[in-house]
């Protein structure tokens, strides 16, 4: 359900880029050409290099607790699973954050929706013979796996004295505690996240040594 919803968001971004560039959306290269207005083969083609954005977003949403199994319900009239409204809004925030994260492309920092439009423009130049090359693998995926659930738990247990020793100020700790108790996604400064990850790594090493001693 979450994957299908997010793929729909990605499809919308691809459809928008196709219309901006002025390509024919029904003519695809990987997917079958269709006469149906609702089946735009080129949009499905353009999704392929960017599907990882959706996959990573869904993983992060469940690992962080933004989405839980009880956030979905089954409707017997049409045999579909649906989001609870609040859960759907939280998930939209996760998707928005991922699409806004962006990457460096051609020496510029671009959001992923801008990159999708740029790659669509490159496709247009290629099919019209204004360019001889087309590389849909650049920029490559940016994959950063973080255990948000463990980090939230660590924040909850972090004392003021421990935070001070790690260079985390009182106001920052208050912000982290407040937001770690909520399911909504929230940003953690890179330096602070690195220190929390160091704590988690040290704790895992201690647990590993304890298991080995038995």
Domain co-membership, 34 together with 114? yes
Statement: residue 146 has pLDDT above 60: no
The pair of structure tokens assigned to 103 is: 């990457």
Domain co-membership, 103 together with 189? no
Domain co-membership, 75 together with 34? yes
Domain co-membership, 164 together with 105? no
Domain co-membership, 67 together with 121? yes
Q: Confidence class of residue 191 from pLDDT cuts 50, 70 and 90?
A: confident
Share of the chain above pLDDT 70, in %: 80
Compute the average pLDDT of residues 100-107: 86
Q: Confidence class of residue 176 from pLDDT cuts 50, 70 and 90?
A: confident
Q: Is residue 137 part of a domain?
A: no
Domain co-membership, 13 together with 98? yes
Return d(Cα 7, Cα 51) in angstroms, integer: 7
Statement: residue 117 has pLDDT above 90: yes
Q: Confidence class of residue 123 from pLDDT cuts 50, 70 and 90?
A: very high
Domain co-membership, 122 together with 207? no
* pLDDT greater at residue 38 or residue 73: 73
Domain co-membership, 10 together with 101? yes
Domain co-membership, 53 together with 108? yes
| 0.95 surpassed by pTM | no
Instruction: With beta carbons less than 8 A apart as the criterion, state whether 82 and 1 touch.
Output: yes
Domain co-membership, 87 together with 167? no
Last residue of a domain, one of 65, 94, 127: 127
Domain co-membership, 158 together with 54? no
* pLDDT greater at residue 117 or residue 202: 117
Last residue of a domain, one of 127, 157, 172: 127
Domain co-membership, 153 together with 123? no
Query: At 74, which CATH number?
Result: 1.20.120.920
Q: Is residue 60 part of a domain?
A: yes
Q: How many domains are there within the chain?
A: 2
pLDDT at residue 98 in the model: 86
- Provide the mean pLDDT of the chain: 81
Domain region containing 66:
2-127
Return d(Cα 75, Cα 79) in angstroms, integer: 5
Q: Is residue 33 part of a domain?
A: yes
Q: Is residue 79 part of a domain?
A: yes
**What 3 state SS string does the chain have?**
CHHHHHHHHHHHHHHHHHHHHCCCCCCCCCCCCCCCCCCCHHHHHHHHHHHHHHHHHHHHHHHHCCCCHHHEEEECCCCEEEECHHHHHHHHHHHHHHHHHCEEECCEEECHHHHHHHHHHHHHHHHCCCCCCCCCCCCCCCCCCCCHHHHHHHHHHCCHHHHHHCCCCHHHHHHHHHHHCCCCCCCCCHHHHHHHHHHHHHHHHHHHHHHHHC
Statement: residue 37 has pLDDT above 60: no
Instruction: With beta carbons less than 8 A apart as the criterion, state whether 2 and 64 touch.
Output: no
Q: Confidence class of residue 38 from pLDDT cuts 50, 70 and 90?
A: low
Q: Is residue 141 part of a domain?
A: no
Instruction: With beta carbons less than 8 A apart as the criterion, state whether 171 and 189 touch.
Output: no
* pLDDT greater at residue 154 or residue 181: 154
What angle do helix axes 85-101 and 112-127 make, rounded to 10 degrees? 60
């Amino acid at each position: 359900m979450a994957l299908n919803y997010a793929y729909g968001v990605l499809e919308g971004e691809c459809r928008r880029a196709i219309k901006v560039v002025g390509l024919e959306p029904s003519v695809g290269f990987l997917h079958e050409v269709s006469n149906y207005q609702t089946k735009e083969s080129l949009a499905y083609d353009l999704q392929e290099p960017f599907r990882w954005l959706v996959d990573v977003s869904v993983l992060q949403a469940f690992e962080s607790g933004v989405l839980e199994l009880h956030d979905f319900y089954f409707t017997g009239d049409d045999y579909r699973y649906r989001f609870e409204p609040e859960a759907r809004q939280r998930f939209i925030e996760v998707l928005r954050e991922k699409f806004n994260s962006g990457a460096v492309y051609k020496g510029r920092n671009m959001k992923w929706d801008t990159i999708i439009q740029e790659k669509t423009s490159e496709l247009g130049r290629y099919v019209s013979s204004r360019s001889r090359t087309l590389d849909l693998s650049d920029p490559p995926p940016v994959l950063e796996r973080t255990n948000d659930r463990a980090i939230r738990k660590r924040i909850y247990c972090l004392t003021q004295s421990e935070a001070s020793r790690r260079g985390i100020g009182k106001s920052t700790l208050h912000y982290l505690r407040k937001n770690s108790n909520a399911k909504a996604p929230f940003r953690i400064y890179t330096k602070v996240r690195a220190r929390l990850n160091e704590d988690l790594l040290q704790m895992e090493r201690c647990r590993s040594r304890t298991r080995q001693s038995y």
